[in-house]
């Protein structure tokens, strides 16, 4: 075979392969970014920075998620007052009662796995749980526990939680507390009783609650800075210190051990980057971890919070406030917002999602300033004024894409 013929044979496949990987990459259609959504994000972040400055908050983290996209993720300020050590997206905060949402989602995962039913009686797993009315104690189920409607008065024995007592021990003392209603009738916020969901989960799995959180949530979510104990927090290199005081005169506080005996009530530590992953799950983007059906059950309004909704009087579009399973459910005729706030040991945080818009936001702060309180309603108000433009652009793109 001569050299010319051999060369022709070797080159022959190239004549029939008119599409190369490089060309395919160039012709792949890029998904355009919604300019109205980008402008909303930019304008809100600018307003957030203004509120941060006006409230003299030492340090904070902010994450905004839309659909499956992280619109914004950043740290602001410093980890401690009068320091130059900046907060970044992996700086760890205590999240306080935002932990309640983690606990209810974990319970939902166990329900999906068939280990639990929402209607299971608490006493079946925690025989120490007693009430002044013995018959009522036998009737209280997981829904009553997680919806803050067991019949116990507001904050029953939270003082014992803060004193560091074991939750089982506290459960055995609830029989001395005068009840305010039958189960499922009246909302009354709890820390001690709510934390019994952790004891239930430990009984079902025969593992510690920290182990369950790690296996079922933290590892699948790929969160690197989330934990549920005091030692993990104080040994964290990238830590936002808590503060007390106000009006810009913030003083560093010591890290407290309070609520690590009651993880479901307030014992979770997390960074704002990890809360971004958490928002993805809450928006239904992690069906490999929990289904939308179970999320809907958790977010169902269960009990009217009545006079306990004064906090939301200045929130735009919020007409009614209920409690679901570990979450506050804020509604009007057209929308439903899933929300919770948290305060512990000088840290403050708030989280909110709009399931209809597939939109979520979380703010963590290392001081009890008004930053979260002001930034959440500001977020809702600004998005409401931009929503039509955002949707109109999406509709036009869908129409063009369908042609």
Total Cβ atoms within 10 A of residue 385 = 11
* All structural domains of the chain: 35-390 (3.40.710.10)
Strands (E), 224-379: 243-244, 251-252, 269-271, 303-304, 320-323, 328-331, 336-344, 347-354, 359-365
Give residue 32's pLDDT: 73
Q: Give SS3 for 126.
A: coil
Instruction: Report whether 97 contacts 262 (CB < 8 A).
Output: no
pLDDT the model gives residue 4: 44
> Strand 320-323 relative to strand 59-66: parallel, antiparallel, unpaired?
unpaired
pTM of the model: 0.90
DSSP letter for 315, please. Answer: S
Measured distance CA(181)–CA(264) in Å, rounded: 24
Shortest CA distance to 107 belongs to which of 141, 144, 146? 146
Q: DSSP state, 29?
A: P
pLDDT for residue 232: 97
Measured CA to CA, the distance from residue 397 to residue 374 in angstroms comes to 34
How many other C-beta atoms lie within 10 A of the C-beta of residue 309? 19
Query: Which pLDDT value is given to residue 247?
Result: 72
Structure confidence at residue 8 (pLDDT): 43
pLDDT, position 354: 97
Q: Which residues contact 235 (CB under 8 A, 6 or more apart)?
A: none
Query: Which residues, including other chains, have CB under 8 Å from residue 140's CB and lie 6 or more apart?
Result: 121, 122, 123, 129, 131, 150, 151, 183
Question: In the chain, how long is the greatest CA-to-CA distance?
Answer: 103
Per-residue pLDDT of the chain (403 residues; tens, 9 = 90+): 454 444 444 444 444 344 333 333 333 344 578 999 999 999 999 999 999 999 999 999 999 999 999 999 999 999 999 899 999 999 999 999 999 999 999 999 999 999 999 999 999 999 999 999 999 999 999 999 999 999 999 999 999 999 999 999 999 999 999 999 999 999 999 999 999 999 999 999 999 999 999 999 999 999 999 999 999 999 999 999 999 997 778 999 999 999 999 999 999 999 999 999 999 999 999 999 999 999 999 999 999 997 556 778 778 888 999 999 999 999 998 899 999 999 999 999 999 999 999 999 999 999 999 999 999 999 999 999 999 999 999 988 888 765 5
């Amino acid at each position: 075979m001569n050299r010319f013929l051999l060369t022709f044979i070797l080159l022959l496949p190239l004549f029939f392969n008119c599409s190369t990987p490089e060309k395919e990459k160039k012709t792949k259609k890029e998904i355009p970014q919604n300019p109205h959504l980008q402008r909303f994000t930019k304008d809100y972040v600018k307003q957030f920075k203004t509120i941060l400055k006006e409230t003299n908050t030492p340090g904070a983290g902010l994450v905004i998620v839309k659909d499956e996209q992280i619109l914004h993720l950043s740290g602001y300020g410093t980890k401690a007052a009068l320091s130059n050590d900046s907060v970044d997206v992996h700086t760890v905060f205590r999240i306080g009662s935002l932990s309640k949402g983690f606990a209810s989602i974990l319970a939902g995962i166990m329900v999906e796995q068939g280990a639990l039913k929402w209607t299971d009686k608490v006493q079946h797993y925690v025989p120490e749980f007693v009430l002044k009315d013995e018959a009522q104690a036998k009737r209280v189920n997981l829904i009553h526990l997680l919806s803050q409607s067991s019949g116990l008065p507001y904050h029953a024995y939270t003082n014992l939680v803060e004193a560091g007592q074991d939750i089982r021990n506290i459960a055995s003392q609830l029989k001395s507390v005068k009840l305010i209603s039958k189960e499922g009738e009246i909302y009354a916020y709890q820390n001690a009783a709510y934390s019994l969901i952790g004891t239930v989960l430990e009984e079902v799995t025969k593992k510690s609650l920290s182990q369950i959180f790690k296996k079922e949530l933290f590892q699948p979510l790929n969160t690197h800075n989330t934990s549920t104990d005091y030692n993990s927090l104080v040994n964290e290199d990238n830590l936002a210190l808590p503060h007390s005081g106000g009006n810009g005169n913030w003083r560093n506080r010591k890290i407290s051990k309070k609520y690590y005996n009651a993880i479901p009530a307030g014992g979770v530590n997390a960074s704002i980057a990890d809360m971004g992953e958490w928002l993805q799950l809450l928006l239904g983007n992690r069906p490999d971890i929990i289904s939308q059906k179970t999320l809907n059950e958790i977010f169902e309004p269960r009990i009217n919070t009545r006079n306990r909704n004064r906090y939301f009087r200045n929130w735009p579009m919020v007409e009614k406030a209920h409690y679901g399973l570990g979450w506050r459910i804020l509604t009007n005729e057209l929308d439903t917002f899933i929300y919770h706030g948290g305060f512990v040991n000088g840290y403050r945080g708030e989280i909110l999602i709009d399931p209809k818009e597939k939109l979520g936001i979380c703010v963590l702060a290392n001081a009890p300033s008004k930053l979260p309180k002001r930034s959440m309603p500001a977020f809702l108000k600004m998005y409401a004024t931009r929503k039509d433009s955002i949707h109109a652009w999406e509709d036009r793109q869908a129409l063009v894409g369908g042609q």
